[in-house]
Amino acid sequence: MPDLDQPERSDITVGQLLLAEYQTVKDEQKTRIGFRDNLLYVTLTVVAAVIAAAAQAKQPAMLLALPPVCVVLGWTYLVNDEKISAIGAYVRGDLGPRLARLAGDERAFGWEIAHRSDARRRSRKAIQCAVDLLAFCVVPLAGLGVYWAAGNVSPGLLALSVAEALTVAGLGVQVVSYARPVTAP
């Protein structure tokens, strides 16, 4: 009869555990990438719907819906993008090197490093930052500008729109801050 106080010897190795962890974090990364990328499409759809509704109803005040929607979707996009990058950094800086040591190799998961070292990476990151700013910040600020320019602005809605503009500007600062190239391996 087995002794319940003594753990059974497991057939699972450290390498198998690390590979299982790798698969789990890569699955999470893949899911987050799909979700993040769809947020841009959702944002474009919502923006188009709000603009169309405001134009059709001839109610510029409806454009005040753009900033909260774009901020929520933009922040969600940003958080998922950060987690995607964090997973990559973890695989490159921690998990990969541990597996490489176990395997007696110089490095593991070469693609995790190779795809980050091409000559156009900086320009892609800058363009992506511009796209993110356009989708999540410039569009709602333009909507506020149209609302302000339309006249007939009530004091309450003016105060709300200024608060929205400040919130969108805060998101813009975060978008730029998170877009800075990371020098991690």
- 182 pLDDT band, cuts 50/70/90, is low
pLDDT at residue 28 is higher than 50 = yes
Q: Any long-range contacts for 31-36 (C-beta under 8 Å, 24+ apart)?
A: 32/80, 32/83, 32/84, 32/87, 33/84, 35/80, 36/77, 36/80, 36/81, 36/84
**DSSP-H helix ranges across 58-95:** 66-90
Confidence label for 172 from pLDDT (cuts 50, 70 and 90): very high
Weakest mean pLDDT among 13-27, 95-109, 135-149, 166-180? 95-109
Q: Which residue has the tokens 């110089």?
A: 106
Tell me what percent of the residues of the chain surpass a pLDDT of 70. Answer: 92
